[in-house]
Amino acid sequence: MPYPPHFKGSLDRVNATREKRKTEEIERLSDAERTKLIADFHPDYRSEGMAVLQIGPNCGERVPVEFARALESYSICDPDQLDLSKPDYTTEVLIIGGGGAGCAAALTARECGADVLLVTKLRLGDANTLMAEGGICSAIRPEDNPYLHYIDTIGGGHYTNIPELVKTLVMDGPEIAAWLMEMGVIFDYEADGSLKVNHCGGHSRKRMLSCKDLTGLELMRVLRDELRDQEIPCLEFSPAVELLLDNNGSCGGAVLYNLETADFTVVRAGAVILASGGIGRLHIQGFPTTNHYGATADGLVIAYRAGAGLIHMDSIQYHPTGTVWPEQLLGQLITEVMRGHGAHLVNLAGERFINELECRDTCASACIRECTERGKGVKTPTGHEGIWLDTPLIPSIRDHFVGIYQRFKKYDIDIQQEPILVYPTQHYQNGGLSITADAETSLPGLFAAGEVAGGIQGKNRLAGNSLLDIFVYGRRAARHAVEIAGQVAAPGRLSLEHLHKYHAGLNAIGISATRRSPVLLPDYTPAGLQAEGL
């Protein structure tokens, strides 16, 4: 589906201004300007999109309406109908989630000699990790160092990050890069044998290692292969739908739900690592998302019911450049590295309006301002609006951005010749379960790693920092979970007593017993879309 004829006027202006824009300098915003732009245009600041939690550890805090609904719902299992006395599986460490963080945790727990079981909702590797395009940031070059990475990350997060978690992130970064290389990941190289590094928003150094524009795919393929080589047991299509506590109040396992047979399975574990990912498929404020089909915040829901606290859940990341046209690719990611390689953000009239290497929340807010207050967005026949990402500015697109090039080629759009129409799309949940530097949550025996954990990135994550965080905290969670699991002398009686309490609380605030969660999968049938108002 090539561009509709009425785009031509705007496309001509983009072409006509391209040469002139190359030499144009756009100043970065001051702290005050940035704060105002975000407060005026970022979706997190729309009060109608937020609700105040009425129950649980974060009672009284603001979170997105769709997430509040998932939290304030009854369990999909009846605690009185499950026999917890004869677990179907017993393991030292249970890992919930088969993406980058879960696989890193499983490999590391095995490395520490533990008995491991990994369970996941869809197939092993079906996760947001696999969809990451840009790359992974690590301060490895002589021109760079962890101190600079720290400053960039904490400034990019508007000083809301938990400092200890950022320190751990940047200090473990170089070791993680080496760990991945030793497992056989093919990173990009320069002709002189040095690792290729890319620029991206908010970073003061080129520090993003890439595998073309398919970095996540390459990482996930290698991790999955290694997991299979080590014959780590894995249950697919079996999401965790509740956590189990033992009589000391520690997390001691989980209830799984077989998506195909609708059976429940009980797993007893010495420690549990939650690596179940983010929230995008709840479609916060109706936004499209770059996220995987399974990103429905399940882990957050079950951990919250069991008493684990959340942080920064009022903060959602909208990636500035999600696809708007063709309609079939709506919301899909166009990596930030394209801006790092010189692509401009350009409005209807062919004008730039923001320094493209500002952080994501800043660029996204500026794109929204262009399409709303300034009326300089390009309208599509299907009622969406966007601004241009001027890709023809990038030399040799087909070498570095082969995935994106191919995807658009199928719709007769040649991104070497024509720009891409983009608009902010939900991309990442900045917040999550509150953790320590050892990845332990406020619930003893429960660890969290990856997007389900919060506080590391503050209220705005920089590009390339989440692929790093999943491995840093996946590995740390595993090391500490193995220690804790080893200390459990005589396993206590498993219980779902916390559900009774939570349900009573829901009942007390008048929530209908028909409302159930976790969501598990979005419903895109006509009936489902109607029910969600999408």
Q: Which residues are catalytic?
A: 319, 339
Question: By rule CB under 8 A, what string of x and - marks binding of each residue 260-289 to other proteins?
Answer: x-----------------------------
Question: By rule CB under 8 A, what string of x and - marks binding of each residue 79-118 to other proteins?
Answer: ----------------------------------------
Give the interface segment with other proteins, choosing from 49-57, 164-172, 475-483, 491-499 (CB under 8 A).
164-172
Is position 66 an interface residue for other proteins (rule: CB under 8 A)? no
Q: CA nearest 280: which of 157, 459, 131, 100? A: 131
Select the residue interacting with other proteins from 11, 76, 82, 195 (CB under 8 A): 195
Select the residue interacting with other proteins from 406, 417, 507, 530 (CB under 8 A): 406
Distance CA 397, CA 278 (A): 30
Complex with other proteins: residue 13 or 479, whichever CB lies closer:
479
Select the residue interacting with other proteins from 73, 75, 108, 290 (CB under 8 A): 290
Complex with other proteins: residue 22 or 493, whichever CB lies closer:
22
Shortest Å, Cβ 316 to other proteins: 19
Q: CA nearest 240: which of 299, 283, 293, 292? A: 299
Select the residue interacting with other proteins from 5, 60, 113, 193 (CB under 8 A): 193
Virtual CA dihedral for 171, 172, 174, 179, nearest 10 degrees? 170
Binding residues for other proteins restricted to 137-156, rule: CB under 8 A: 139-143, 145-148, 150-152, 154-155
Binding residues for other proteins restricted to 209-228, rule: CB under 8 A: 211-212, 214, 216-218, 221-222, 225, 228
Is position 292 an interface residue for other proteins (rule: CB under 8 A)? yes
Distance CA 186, CA 54 (A): 48
Select the residue interacting with other proteins from 407, 461, 475, 476 (CB under 8 A): 407
Complex with other proteins: residue 109 or 306, whichever CB lies closer:
109
Shortest Å, Cβ 197 to other proteins: 10
Structure tokens at 247: 């009589």
Distance CA 424, CA 219 (A): 26
Site of tokens 């003893």: 444
Shortest Å, Cβ 432 to other proteins: 21
Element (H, E) at 269: strand 264-274
Site of tokens 């919060």: 454
Distance CA 274, CA 481 (A): 11
Radius of gyration (C-alpha) of the chain in whole angstroms: 23
Select the residue interacting with other proteins from 18, 77, 90, 175 (CB under 8 A): 175
Count of residues binding other proteins (CB under 8 A)?
A: 88
Select the residue interacting with other proteins from 52, 186, 508, 534 (CB under 8 A): 186
Binding residues for other proteins restricted to 243-262, rule: CB under 8 A: 259-260
Shortest Å, Cβ 167 to other proteins: 5
Binding residues for other proteins restricted to 473-532, rule: CB under 8 A: 521, 523-528
Distance CA 310, CA 443 (A): 11
Shortest Å, Cβ 486 to other proteins: 25
Which residues of 154-224 form beta strands (DSSP E)?
Answer: 197-198, 208-209
Is position 178 an interface residue for other proteins (rule: CB under 8 A)? yes
C-alpha separations of 356 from 222, 390, 454 in Å: 32, 11, 26
Give the interface segment with other proteins, choosing from 111-119, 191-199, 298-306, 420-428 (CB under 8 A).
191-199
Site of tokens 């994501």: 360
Select the residue interacting with other proteins from 9, 22, 88, 194 (CB under 8 A): 194
Site of tokens 């993003």: 208
Is position 27 an interface residue for other proteins (rule: CB under 8 A)? no
C-alpha separations of 370 from 41, 258, 373 in Å: 10, 46, 6
Select the residue interacting with other proteins from 332, 430, 457, 460 (CB under 8 A): 332
Distance CA 217, CA 369 (A): 33
Complex with other proteins: residue 87 or 326, whichever CB lies closer:
326
Complex with other proteins: residue 245 or 346, whichever CB lies closer:
346
Complex with other proteins: residue 65 or 148, whichever CB lies closer:
148
Distance CA 378, CA 65 (A): 29
Shortest Å, Cβ 471 to other proteins: 14
Shortest Å, Cβ 443 to other proteins: 26
Is position 204 an interface residue for other proteins (rule: CB under 8 A)? yes
Burial of 135 (0-12, 13-18, 19+ CB in 10 A): buried
SS3 254: strand
Instruction: Please name the residues in contact with 306: beta carbons below 8 A apart, sequence gap of 6 or more.
Output: 242, 243, 245, 251, 443, 446, 498
Distance CA 9, CA 181 (A): 48
CB atoms within 10 A of CB 225: 13
Shortest Å, Cβ 182 to other proteins: 8
Render the burial of 322-355: b for 16+ CB within 10 Å, e for the rest.
bbbbbeebbbbbbbbbbbbbebbbbbbebbbbbb
